[in-house]
Structure 1
Amino acid sequence: MVGVLLTVLALAVVQLALALHVRNTLLDAAAEGARYAALAGSSGPAGVNRAKELISAAVSADYARDVSAGTTSIAGVPAVEVTVRATLPVVGLLGLERGLEVSGHAALEIVE
Structure 2
Amino acid sequence: MPRPRGERGSAVVDFVLVLVVLVPIFLGILQVALVLLVRNTLASAASEGARYAATLDRGPADGEARTRHQIDGAISGRYADDVSARPAMIDGAPGVEVVVHATVPALGLFGPGVELTVTGHAVEEQRP
Q: Structure 2 length as normaliser, TM-score?
A: 0.79
Alignment correspondent of 2:127: 111
Runs of 4+ in 1 over 4 A off after TM superposition: none
CA contact (8 A) 2:86 2:97 kept: yes
Alignment correspondent of 2:63: 47
- State how 1:1-80 maps to structure 2 within 5 Å: 1-80=17-96
The two structures, once aligned, show a CA RMSD in angstroms of 1.8
Q: Which amino acid aligns with 2:45?
A: A
SS at match of 2:106: strand
Q: Which amino acid aligns with 2:41?
A: T
CA–CA separation in structure 2 for the residues paired with 1:65 and 1:75: 29
1:67 Cα deviation from its structure 2 partner: 0.6
Q: Which has more radius of gyration?
A: 2
Q: Which amino acid aligns with 1:23?
A: R
Give the structure with the higher percent strand. 1
1:96 Cα deviation from its structure 2 partner: 3.5
Q: Which has the higher contact order (CA 8 A, sep 6+)?
A: 1
1:47 Cα deviation from its structure 2 partner: 0.6
CA–CA separation in structure 2 for the residues paired with 1:27 and 1:68: 13
* Structure 1 unaligned blocks of 5 or more: none
Q: Structure 1 length as normaliser, TM-score?
A: 0.89
1:91 Cα deviation from its structure 2 partner: 2.2
Q: Which amino acid aligns with 1:48?
A: E
1:55-104 Cα offsets, whole Å, 9 max, x none, are 00111111111111011112211110000111133227xx548x211100
CA–CA separation in structure 2 for the residues paired with 1:31 and 1:101: 13
